[in-house]
Structure 1
Amino acid sequence: MLKQFLVVVILMLSGFCAQAQTQDTVVRKPADTVIIAPPKKVNDAGQRFVPKVKKDKEYHPDTTHIPSLAVKRSLIIPGWGQLYNKKGAWWKIPAIYGGLGALGYSIVDSQRGYKKFLAFYNIKNLGRVPLPTDREYEAYQKYKAEYAIYAGQSTTYFTEIVSNYQRNFQISILGVVAVWGIQAVEAYVEAKFISSFSVDNDLSIKVSPGFINQQPTYAMLTSTDAYIPGIKITFTLK
C-alpha cells in the first residue's frame, strides 16, 4: 500500500514539473513606424520655396582674334602685336623697346669706336704725322686730341680694340634681329593659345586623391607599402 502511494505521488510530481517548464511563447508584433515628412519651406507670401538653378558660365573661343595678324603687326612695328593681343601689353611693350634701345645704342657706339680706332691704327702704321696729301690726314685732324692719348700704344693694341668693336657691332645687330623675332613669336603664341583658345563646358576636369600601385620589387616583398599615395587627374570630353 505504501509503495503504491509513493508511485502515485512520484507520477503527480513529474506531471506538475513538466507543466511548470512549458511556457507559452508570445510573439509581439513591432509597432508601426510613422515617418513624418519635414514641413515645406514657404516664403512670407505663403508660396512654396523653390531654390534658383544657377546656370554655368559658357566659354567660347574668340574667333575674331587672328594669330597671323598679330605676327604681321609685330614684324612691321615691334610691340604692335602685343598691343593687338591686349594682354600684358603694359609691360611687354616698354621691355621690347628698352631692349631694342640698348642694342641700338651698342650698335652706334661700336661703329663709332671702330672707325676711330681704325683711324688710330692707320696713323700709327704710317709711322709719322700725316701730311695734307696723305689719306689719313683728315682723320688725324678729327681725332688729333684723342690720338695724343694713345700715341704710345703699338699697332697690335689698336688691332685688338678694332676687332672688339667689330665683334660688338655684329653681336648687337644679331641681338636686334633676335629681339624682333622673339617678340613676333611671343605675339603669335599669345594670340594662338591664350586669346583665341578657351575651355568651354564640353571639357571637364576632376582632381581626386588616389593610390599608385607599384610594381613588385625585392624591397616591396618585405614591406606592406605596396601602394603609395598620389593625385588622380581625370579629363572628360562630353
Structure 2
Amino acid sequence: MAQEEGPVSVFEPDSLSAEPPQNVKNPKKAVLLSLIVPGAGQVYNEKVWKLPLLYGGVATAVYFLEFNNRRYQEFLVALEIVREGTEPSPFPNLNEDGIIRNVNYWRRNRDAMYMVFGAIYALGAVDAFVDAHLSSFDVSDDLSIKLEPSVQPTLASNSAVGLAIKINF
C-alpha cells in the first residue's frame, strides 16, 4: 500500500510576540540589595522617593537607641557606685531600688529600640520585594470595576433584584 501524499501546509507564526514587559524587576535581587544596604532595593525599583522615609525611620531608631543606651549605662554606673559605697551617689534622690528600677527601665527601652530598628530594616526589604513583584502589574485605565443594580428574571416569572459586578480589563 502506497502512502498518499497530501498538501503540505505551512503555518506562519503569530504576529504578536509574547515578550515580557521591559520594566520587570527581580524581587530576589531587590530584597538582596535592600538587606545589604537599606534603601538599595528601593533605588533598584526606581522608587527613590521612599529613601527619606526609610532613612528617617532608621535615623530616628538609631537616635533613640543611643539615647536609651546612654541612660542605661549612666544608671548602671550609678548602681555600681551605690553598691560599692565609696563615692556619693550621682542620683542622691534615689536609693538602690530606685536606681535598679531605672536600670531596668532604660534597658527595656534600649532593647525595644533594637526591635524597632530591626522592624524598620525588615520593612524596607519587604517593601522592595513587594514593589519588585508589582513592577509589571498593569495599572492602565483599561482596568475598571462597576457595581450596578440588576434585575434578573426567575423561573416563577418573578424578578430578583440584586447587584451586578462588571469587571473590565
Alignment TM-score, normalising by the size of structure 1: 0.53
Question: Of the candidates 35, 41, 46, which is equivalent to residue 75 of structure 1?
Answer: 35
- Is contact 2:24-2:132 (8 Å) kept? no
Letter of the 2:42 counterpart: Q
Counterparts in 2 of 1:151-166, with a 5 A limit?
A: 151-166=92-107
Report the Cα distance in structure 2 between the residues aligned to 1:231 and 1:83, rounded to whole angstroms: 42
The residue matched to 2:138 in structure 1 has which SS?
Answer: coil
Report the Cα distance in structure 1 between the residues aligned to 2:147 and 2:82, rounded to whole angstroms: 78
User: What whole-Å deviation, never above 9, does each CA across 1:209-237 have from its counterpart, x for those lacking one?
Assistant: 34166xxxxxxxxxx98414x3421457x
Which of structures 1 and 2 has the bigger CA Rg? 1
The residue matched to 1:61 in structure 2 has which SS?
Answer: coil
Question: Of the candidates 43, 65, 69, which is equivalent to residue 25 of structure 2?
Answer: 65
Gaps of 5+ in 1: 1-58, 131-143, 214-223
Gaps of 5+ in 2: 1-18, 153-157
Report the Cα distance in structure 1 between the residues aligned to 2:28 and 2:124, rounded to whole angstroms: 14
Compute the displacement of 1:152 (Å): 3.2
Report the Cα distance in structure 2 between the residues aligned to 1:204 and 1:115, rounded to whole angstroms: 58
Map of 1:173 onto structure 2: 114
User: What whole-Å deviation, never above 9, does each CA across 1:133-155 have from its counterpart, x for those lacking one?
Assistant: xxxxxxxxxxx8xx1xx223211
Letter of the 1:100 counterpart: V
Map of 2:133 onto structure 1: 192
Identity %: 29
Compute the displacement of 1:198 (Å): 2.9
User: What whole-Å deviation, never above 9, does each CA across 1:88-139 have from its counterpart, x for those lacking one?
Assistant: x22x100111111111111111221111111111222233428xxxxxxxxx
